[in-house]
Amino acid sequence: MLIRIFGITTPTGDYLLKKVLNNIYKNINCYSRSNKSYKYLDLRDFNHPNLIKKSNLKEIWIFLCPIWEVDKFLNNLIISKNFEKYNIKGIICCSSTSVITKIYSWHKYDKNLICKISNSEQKIINICNRYKKSLSIIRPTMIYGDTGSFKDNNINRILKICKKIPFVILPRETGKRQPLHISQLANIIKKEIIKLTEENHRNYISILNIGGDEILSYEMILKALMEKRKINKSIILINTNLYFFIFSPLLILNSRLYSEILRINSDLSGFKKSNIYLKVPAKKFIDFI
């Protein structure tokens, strides 16, 4: 079997290749448009000289790039009559639980993002149904974790802000989060690969909404991060309405940033826990950071 990974230069891609798949599979082709260590491929182009068919090996294609680039790439292969020449057994795409958590967002950016993701998911499902390919769409919650030279944007951005300010102000009521570590996501992808290669999962179409093993408040996440990274800053909790009033000028100056601040109060959890899906003991958030 041949595994092709598109969008390898991400923390998840790096961990998936080096810590998970390299120990199991021999034939893995990795593609990137930015890292010369891997085969060059830009999903937005029509011509893909490095995407070479290898004998009659069954293939699993894994996409770790934005899902709206995936449906266009697959459609381009179909238009150029190249899609069917690959012996694709199944396709795995990483999407986002944002299609659920941001569905009632008032901000135009979020509305457009949800529409973009949902449309791409449906197009990929239609393609796989049409050509009888198995498909797994994985919708993870907030992904975090560093590996090698790759740093995640979520946790590191929060830590950078915490280091610059004298203290942290939060509303007294904060919503729940279910952060998912890259190692958990990598093992979920591995399990999906196994499913896609099984005969009883032929023409298998799955959408998996998945989160970490722990459900934590925003305050609990910040306390754990600052404790582990030895950042000595106080967290001050204030009245929730007062908190949003203080930041209300952002509604005019930077409405998107204000919408993100409002989400601090939103509950973005309740998804299937990775340890239950993987059938392994649960791990704490603090054990990964």
Question: How far apart are alpha carbons 222 and 90 in whole angstroms?
Answer: 39
Cβ-based neighbour number of residue 14 at 10 Å: 21
Domain ranges of the chain: 2-154+179-217+270-288
Q: Which helix (H) or strand (E) holds 279?
A: none
Question: How far apart are alpha carbons 50 and 39 in whole angstroms?
Answer: 7
pTM for this structure? 0.94
Q: Which residue matches tokens 């830009």?
A: 42
Question: How far apart are alpha carbons 67 and 6 in whole angstroms?
Answer: 11
End-to-end Cα, the chain, rounded Å: 34
CATH number for region 2-154+179-217+270-288:
3.40.50.720
Q: Which residue matches tokens 């998936």?
A: 16
∠189-195-200 over CA atoms, to 5°? Answer: 170
Tens of pLDDT, residue by residue over 68-85, are 999 999 999 999 999 999
Cβ-based neighbour number of residue 214 at 10 Å: 22
∠272-127-103 over CA atoms, to 5°? Answer: 40
Q: What is the pLDDT of residue 70?
A: 97
∠39-44-47 over CA atoms, to 5°? Answer: 65
Decide: 59 and 88 in contact? Cβ < 8 Å: yes
Q: What is the dihedral of CA 145, 4, 129, 95, to 10 degrees?
A: 20
Extract the residue ranges of the chain whose pLDDT is less than 70.
Answer: 199-201
- Tell me how far CA of residue 53 lies from CA of 69, 81, 233, in angstroms: 21, 14, 55
- Tell me how far CA of residue 268 lies from CA of 99, 192, 211, 274, in angstroms: 11, 24, 10, 15
Q: What is the pLDDT of residue 201?
A: 66
